[in-house]
Amino acid sequence: MKPAAFARLALLAACSTAALGLALAQTPAPSPQPTPAPAAAPAALSDALPVPDAPEIVGTAWLLMDYATGQVLAGENVDERVEPASITKVMTSYVIAAEMHAGKVKPDDAVMMSENAWRSGGAGTDGSYSGFEVNQTAPLLAMEKGMVVQSGNDAAIALAEHVAGSEGAFASLMNAYAGRIGLKNSNFVNSHGLSDPNHYSTARDLALLGRAMVRDFPEEYAYNKIREFTVGPITQRNRNLLLWRDDSVDGIKTGHHSGAGYCLMASAKRGDQRLLSVVMGSTSEAQRATDSLALLNWGFRFYETHNLYDAGKPIAEQKVWKGTGDVVRLGVASPLLVSMARGRYAQLKPTMDIPKVLVAPIAQGQALGTVRVSLDGKVVAQAPLVALDAVEQAGFFKRLWHEFLLWWDSV
**How distant, in Å, are the alpha carbons of 33, 82, 111, 223 from that of 231?**
65, 32, 14, 15
DSSP codes, 66-88: ETTT--EEEEESTTS-B--GGGH
Angle of CA points 64, 149, 91, to nearest 5°? 55
What distance lies between CA 393 and its chain's CA centroid?
37
For residue 17, give every residue at least 6 positions away whose Cβ sits within 8 Å of its Cβ, in sequence order, or none.
none
Instruction: Please state, in angstroms and rounded to a whole number, the distance separating the CA atoms of residues 70 and 221.
Output: 18
Q: Are 376 and 341 in contact (CB under 8 A)?
A: no
The size of the chain, in residues, is 411
Orientation angle between helical segments 88-101 and 153-164, nearest 10 degrees: 30
Active site residues: 86, 89, 151
Compute the Cα dihedral for 153, 78, 266, 286 and give only its sign.
positive
Beta bridge partners of residue 373, listed in sequence order: 350, 381
Contact 42, 48 (CB under 8 A): no
Q: Residue 286, Cβ neighbours under 10 Å: how many?
A: 11
**3-class state of residue 30 by DSSP:** coil
For the beta sheet containing 367-375, the strands, ordered from the edge strand earlier in sequence to the opposite edge, are: 316-319, 327-331, 378-387, 367-375, 349-353
